Structure 1
Amino acid sequence: MKRILIRDANIVNEGKIIRGDVYIKEGLIYSVGGDLSGKDADIVIDAKGKYLLPGLIDDQVHFREPGLTHKAEIYTESKTAVAGGVTSFMEMPNTIPQSTTHELLEEKYAIGAAKSLANYSFYLGATNDNIETIKSVDVKNVCGVKVFQGSSTGNMLVDNPDSLEAIFRECPILIATHSENDNIIKANLERFKQEYGEDIPAKFHPKIRSEEACYDASKIVVEMARTHGTKLHVLHISTGKEVGLFDNTLPLAEKRITAEACIHHLWFSEEDYNKKGNWIKWNPAIKTSNDRDTILKGVLEGNIDVIATDHAPHTIGEKEQPYLKAPSGGPLLQHGLVALLEMYHNGKISLEQIVQKTSHNVAILFEIESRGFLREGYYADLVLVDLDNSWEVERENVLSKCGWSPFEGQKFRSKVTHTIVSGHLAYENGVFNEEKKGERLKFSRNI
C-alpha cells in the first residue's frame, strides 16, 4: 500500500485540536503530530488551513442490496459515503431477502467485500421466530441485531411480546431498535383517513407517527433492557420527550442503554413539510422545532451518544407519489458531515463534539477494533475538510443512485476534500480511486 504523509493539518481528535502531520504506512496510522516531513511518502497531501478528522462511522444506513437495487446498491452508496467523509458504515437487514439468517447475512458480507469502497458491517435482522439464530450470532464479526418495533418489510415487525422479551433476554450482542408503537400509528392514521380520505397532506406525518408512538415504544425497550441487562441502542430519536429516557451521567463505555440522533432530526422541523413534503418523510417523523432543539441539547449533554444519517434512498418517482403511497426515507450520507459543519459555523456544535459523536463514540459503543480515533497503530480512516469552500447542493451533483437530496438548494460553507479508507486514498477533490475496497469491521468483544 502507498505511504501517505498529510502535512500541516488542524487535527481534531479526542477533544483537542492540534496542528501537525500524520504519516500513514501499510494502511495504519504510523505517526501523529509534529513535523514529519522527513518521512518517506508516496503521496504527500498539503493540508494547510484544513481540518483532519477521524473518518465518520455511520451506524445506520440502508443500501437496498439485495433486491431493491433500483433505489440504491452497496457500490453506489458506499461511494456516496466516501464522498461525504464516511469511512465505515453499518447497514440494515430490511432488504429482499431480509438478512434474518446467518447464510443470508454472509451473502451481504460477500457483496460488501466485492463492491464497497468504505469499510462495512451488516446487522442481523430479528423476527418473531428467529431467536436461535440471534443466540448464535458471531459477536466478533457482526455489528448487532436490528429490531423493528414499528412497521417494516415482511416478517421483520417484532410485535409478539414474548418474542421481544426472549430477544432481550437471550441476545449476546448489541440490539439496535426502531422504536415506534405500531398500534398507536394505525389508530392515528385511521383518524386522518376519516377526515382526508386517501389525500392526507404530508404535513400530518408527525401527527400520525406521533410523539406518543415514539415515546411509548422507546420506554418499553428501555425498561426491558434494564430488566435483562441488555445492551440496547435506540436509533433515530425524534422527540424531545424521549431524550429524558437516557442517562448522561455515566461514561459511554459503562452504559448498557444508549441512543442515536440523526441529521434530519437535528436540521429540519415540521415547518419544512409545507415546502419539502414527502422529500423529508422519514420514519420516525421529523417533528417540532422544540423537539429538534431538545434532541440537539441531548446530544451536547450526553443523553444521546452518537449522530448518524439513517441514509435510506428511494427513487424520485416513488417520492413523488401521494403521501400514503410515498415511502419514508431519503439519502443523507453525502451531506451529513457538511450539514454538521454548517451547524458548527452557526455556533450550535463544536468540531470536537462532531468528532466525538460521529467517530469516537460509535467506535466505543460498538467496540470496533482499532478505528474511530487518530491514534498510532489504528487503521487510517481519515477525512480532510475545508471549512471555507462554499458550494450548493444541486440534483446534478448528488451521487446517491436515487438522484436527489433533501438538501437541494442548500449552500454549505464546508467541503470534504480527501477521504482515506483503511490507508487508501479513496477520494480526492471529487475524484475516486477504486483500486482498493473497504474492509469488514471487526469487534473486540468478549463472548
Structure 2
Amino acid sequence: MTERDEEVKTFKELGICDQLVDACKTRGWLKPTRIQVEAIPLALEGKDLIGLAQTGSGKTGAFALPILQALLDSPQPFFACVLSPTRELAIQIAEQFSNLGSDIGVRCAVLVGGVDMVQQTLILAKQPHIVVGTPGRLVDHLSNTKGFSLRKLKYLVLDEADRLLNDDFEKAIDEILNVIPRERRTYLFSATMTKKVKKLQRACLRNPVKIEAATKYSTVDSLKQMYLFIPAKYKDFYLVYILTEKSGSTSMVFTRTCEATRLLALILRNLGLKAIPISGQMSQPKRLGALNKFKAGECNILICTDVASRGLDIPSVDTVINYDIPSNSKDYIHRVGRTARAGRSGIAISLVSQYELEWYIQIENLIGKKLDQYPAPEEEVLLLMERVSEAKRLSQMKIRESDGGRKRKGYGRDEDEEEIDKYLGNRKGKKSNKFKK
C-alpha cells in the first residue's frame, strides 16, 4: 500500500468536487478504492492512464468521476466515449455514469447491437454528453447516422482494454480512432493487460502513466479458489452435487459454448434448481432479461459463456463454477472476479477433466499459486447419477423437439428461455424437495 493509500480517506481529498462527492455518498461510495486513489488525482491532472486493477475494485468510478468533473467545468455534447467488448458491460457502465451524474443533468447514450438503431438515433439526436457502446455498433452510427460525429470528443475510455485491442475488434477500433481528435485524454482499464506494445500504441496514448493497483494477474485475497480433478463423463454429476450443496448461494456457472448453457439450464431446471442461461446466441432482450432475473434473485444460478465474464457487477454472487476450464488462462481471472467483489468473500471451483489439465496448469502458473481440492466424495456424487442422467435425457429430447420446430417454422423462438421463464414463475414461493433424503 502506498503513502497515498494511507493518507487519503475521502473522495474530497482526491480532488473530487462537492457535487460528485454527494453523488458518491448517495451510491454508498464512502471511501475510495485503491485504483480510485491511484487514478483519480492523475486523471484530474490531465494524464493519459493505463490502469490495471482486480475485478470488483471500482475501475468504473476511477474513470467516470474525473470525466464527469471535467464535464462540469466545460459542458458540451459528445464529451466522452467509453468502449466495452460486451453489450451487458456497456449498459452497466452507462448506468453508473447516469447514477453519478443524475443530479447534474448528465445525458448518456448506449450504443450496442441487438437493439433497434432508430431508437438509438433518436437518443443521439438529443446530443448526450457520454456515449457508451460496443465498437461495431458505434462504427455503424458513425457511418450511417446523419449529424452524429465524435469530432469534438475530449475523452476516450477503453474498458477491458486488453480484449478491445485484440484482433476481433481491430478494424472497428481503427475506424473509431481515425475519426476522433488526437488531442484528447485516453484511459485504458482492465484486470489483465496486453503485453504487446504495438497494440497499446494503436490507442494513441500520449505519455501515459501506468497504474498497477494489483499485482499482475492477481485475484483478491477474499476469494477462495479450489479445483476438482474428475472424469469428463462425471462432470454433470459433480456440478449438480456442488450446486445442491450450495442451494442457498447465488452461483455463476461458466461453460465454453452457447449450446452447453442451454442444455445445462434445462438439466438443472428438470432437477428443481432455479437456473437460467445467458449466451451470445440469445437475443439482446432475452440476455438482459436473464441478467435482470438473476440480479433480482428470481433465479440463483446463471449458466453463462464468457459473455458474462468481464466487468459485470452482480454484488450477491457467492460462487463461481468453471464447468469448462477456459483455454485462455486470462479469462479465468475475469470469470472468478464475478465473486468476492468490493471486499466481500466468495468461492471459485474449477471442474477439471482429463482433457483440460494443461489449461488448468497454465492458470496455476498465471496466478502463481496452487489451488486446494474441493471436498466432494465420489460415492456421494455418484448417488445422483440416475436422476441427473434422466434429467439430461429429457433436456436433450426437449432441445431436439425445439430445434425441429424452429426448422419447420423457419425462425427461432427462444423456446427454452420461455420455458424457463414459466418455470421460474411457477416456482415462486416453492422449495424443491428432490434432493432431500
Higher strand share: 1
Higher helix residue share: 2
TM-score by length of 2: 0.29
TM-score (norm 1): 0.28
Of the two structures, which has the highest relative contact order with CA contacts closer than 8 Å and spacing of 6 or more? 1
Which entry has the higher C-alpha Rg, 1 or 2?
2
